Chains A and B, each alone.
Chain A
Amino acid sequence: MSITPVHYIAVPLAAAFLIPILSKFHKETARIIPGLVFSYFLVISFVLMRQVSNTGIISETIAGWRAPWGINLVFGYFSGFFATLMSVIGFLTWLYSYRFKLVDSKPAMSYYILLMMLVTGSIGIVITGDIFNMFVFLEIVAISAFSLTSFYPGRDGAEAAFKYLLIASFSSFLILLAVLLLYTQTGTLNIAELSTKVHLIPQSLKLTILVMFVVGLGIESELFPLNGWAPDAYSQAPAPVGAVFAGVVVKGGIYATMRVMFTMFDINEMGQILLILGLITTIIAEVAAIKQTQVKRMLAYSSIGQMGVVMMAIGIGTEDAVFAALFMMFNHAIIKGLLFFSTGFLLHNSLTKTIAEMKGVAKKFPVLSFMFALGSFAIVGLPPFSGFWSKLYFLMAAADAKLFSMIALVLAVSIVEIVYYFRVVGVMYYHQPDESLPTKQPGLNAYFVMGFLAALIIGVGVYPDLITNFLHAAAYELTHKTEYVQTVLTQFVR
């Protein structure tokens, strides 16, 4: 039974179905099965990536219907990078939250199912070749994200989830409308065929569709006017879910935007607008972050800011810029993951989760606070860590495009970033802890996860070639869509 992309979706759905039944007999299964699923994800992505490296893009048809009619799954370097990243983050989150219990001791079955659905939905977005199918996966991700945000029974969880739902339903409405208009004009839903037929659409209608896509997906990838829901959702979700939001869910939205911008439509029309949007997002997010008193809300704003910079790189549109965007997303996923994981335990028992509560935490949790400090040094972009290289490549791409005022703004904003990250590190290390601090040390699995992420950050930082040529191939594949269209459409000639 050879491994194909469809396993990414079939296996978790089956598992999601089995868990409630099995957990009737034995409580622990709810915890073990998602682990198996995620490790199977790792195996799939490893095998498929090896297959991609020697045979190029894999395009798999489902249910026998060939490309333009049936739904097909495409797994190239570009989608492969996202899928692998998401499965790694998913696996690490599962391992980190292995001991995770809802308030009482009963293992939170719903938490594990929803986590699995979240990661599967995102991977679905990434590997599907059909635009409506992508919409469906977007909705799966959205719904599981609503319920995860409102996971804690407290008051704010419900409020954050409702706001998220309200805005996300706008996004689904817009995307659905755009898909419909596309279908009426081109008569097909397959992305590859759409890219060949999109020039038939009259210009004004094409622009409307493009705008709907940008706004719809912009809500998912947290662009400025549309990201009202994001800070609330991140801060109310449990810490591991925050890492999944930052590492996986946002990436899905941005992947969809890139696929729409680069493969379906022609980028240089909307590039300028995306550039400006990204810039405004970064500035406002970082500026809001410095004024935050709650740690997770601050991390939320900072990840919106990082995504703004990624959106700017996409706006520039050259292959180097896309490479920088991918590298930044990779860095953001692992560093933000580390930050969320370490804050998860540092603020385990504090209700308000404010920065003041982290006073003098380094004395009681030396390793955790070291991890947080390492994360904040890396995300700010200081040299020996991986954050520096992605910032450098982004600036080089922007310099090639002669956007100096933009570079200046990005650098100014990263100074703001330095201030609020180092302020937190200062509070952690250089204040006396009040005795009431609970000394509940995290389990071994959490240490392993954080250690792996820290090693990854330092490893990529010291020797970035580990992933740069892999990312160059992904960027090349995105910006030169002919190969993508060929493999998908030639299917039905054979």
Chain B
Amino acid sequence: MEGLAIKILGAVITTIVAFAVGMTYGGITRKLTARVQNRVGPTIFQNFIDLLKLQSKKTNIYHGVMGHFAPMWIITAAITVLMFIPVLHPGTAWYNSWFPNLSFHGDLIFLLYMMVFGSLGMALGAGQTGNPNSAIGVTRGLSQMVGFEIPFVLALVALMVQYQTTSIQDIMTVQRESGVWMMFSNPFSFLAALFASLGMFRYSPFDIVGAPAELASGPVSEFGGKYLGTMMSGGSIFAFIKLTLYVDLFLGGAYSIPELLIKTFALYMIPVFYGWVNPRYRTEQAIRYFWGWPTALGVIGLLIAIF
């Protein structure tokens, strides 16, 4: 019983940490982008402020049952995936035990599918609202997802085959024992995964899904108030999840929170930098982009992993 209490407490803390980190990264990015476009830009905590404003809205409209469920799907997916990501190495620091990784070390294939759970739920909600823009946004999002999944899967399969395991925990232990980060032991898979992460975050070059000017922020265009707030928090938790996943798989996993923060922030900056300099791709260009060099790199990584 006592272990269970710790686990629940740990779960709540993990969610809060993930939520906080996700939001602040969003704020920092907005600040940096503004600085690059030499304007002042909002405070780092702008996201929190927006969230509070949204949550405080008294009346909000919803378009039927699925519209009501859409934000719940996202937040559920975010929290569930969070539960199965091993956030920190079971190391010395006192608070390591708080970050629970449920008994079966988080299986990679389960994660691949769970991430889709969230976006499918949102897509259904968007469809129910009846707004054509949201439907177009959803189709673009799903098509782009097919695009970047290929290099991502190639990278993951290379890892799985090489180390004969499908769980993240084992890959972390391999990196811990060998001391060599996966980034260096099979660089091609890492590069392929990195390209895939560009698509995953739906940041500037691949932000056609919610293209602000054209589609009035795509799938979420009909959601206001609490719904939008829940969606935003879900989105930021997802950002944190993806970052920790990459850190665990390729950067040797973190031993302590600060180390985790540094690594995740570094990783997060790559798509942001890339986004600043690239114009927005059309959907088929994005798909062709992902099926081009990233897939080739992934295949090379896979071949190396096999032989």
A/B contact in complex, CB under 8 angstroms: no
